[in-house]
Amino acid sequence: MSKVIKFADKILNKLIIFKTGSRYLQIFIILLLSELILGCSDTVNKQIRIPSTELYHQAMVSIEDEYYNEAIKNFEILVEEHAGTRLATLAHLKMGDIYFIQSKWEESETSYRQFLLLNRRSHLTPYVLNRLIALNYEKNHYGVFFKSRDYDRNMEPNRKLLKEYQRFYLLFPKSPYLKEVKEYHRRAMSDLAEHELNVANYYFSKQAYHSAIGRYLFLLKNFPGFPQTANVAERLIKTYHLNRQPELADEMQRVLDSLRERNLLAQHDTSEE
């Protein structure tokens, strides 16, 4: 680099002897030397690239110290400058974990899926699928200080969770994460059932009885373990009567009485308490 600067200095000194008529030549030489110096500077910068192991180590230290933004920065440099390496692939997983901690669900999901795309047969796949299931459940928590679940909101994350659960159960039926995944599946099913009940009750309140009946029947058919099954059946019977369908109301009443006689609804009632 110093040799280039000395060479440029000599050339510029010699430009003094050029006549005024050679001004265009002077400008051309100056521009040429500028490009040469900048090119050498870029080459030097590229040669000082930080090794992937050092970037990964710095990022992990930042995570331990809870400097998550600093860790993300190092992981992003690692992914950009060392693409295709094992540590770059692992960086996507770690970024997913950080975004999960920060409740940045979209960024977390993107990072996790990028890891799976680059590393399809990793032994870490069960862990990543478990995290995808967890974040889709957490997406439906609302509130700044006191988190709660609003069953009138978008239930799409829960539907995605059910798909991820099916994938997980088929691929890793003996995984140590299965117990945790099953719990998320149970909660998602409960949330979806509550959502369907809210929608059915809304139609009922608007005297849209035909739509309400459809929702109540869907709820009874697809969520048999729902704690409020008896309540749903009773609402359905009432809706049949209001919709002038007494025969269907009587038939539903017989089914409900039969279930109660065999204590098939008792377990749901006790689990609700």
Question: Residue 71 and residue 77: Cα distance in Å, rounded?
Answer: 10
One digit per residue, the tens of pLDDT, for the chain of length 273 reads 555 555 555 555 555 444 444 555 555 555 555 665 565 555 444 557 889 999 999 999 999 999 999 999 999 999 999 999 999 999 999 999 999 999 999 999 999 999 999 998 899 999 999 999 999 888 876 444 344 455 455 678 888 888 889 889 899 999 999 999 999 999 888 888 998 999 999 999 999 999 999 999 999 999 888 888 999 999 999 999 999 999 999 999 999 999 888 877 645 444 443
Q: What is the DSSP string of 47-93?
A: HTPPPHHHHHHHHHHHHHTT-HHHHHHHHHHHHHHSTTSHHHHHHHH
**Which bin fits 155, alpha (ψ -120 to 50), beta or left (φ > 0)?**
alpha
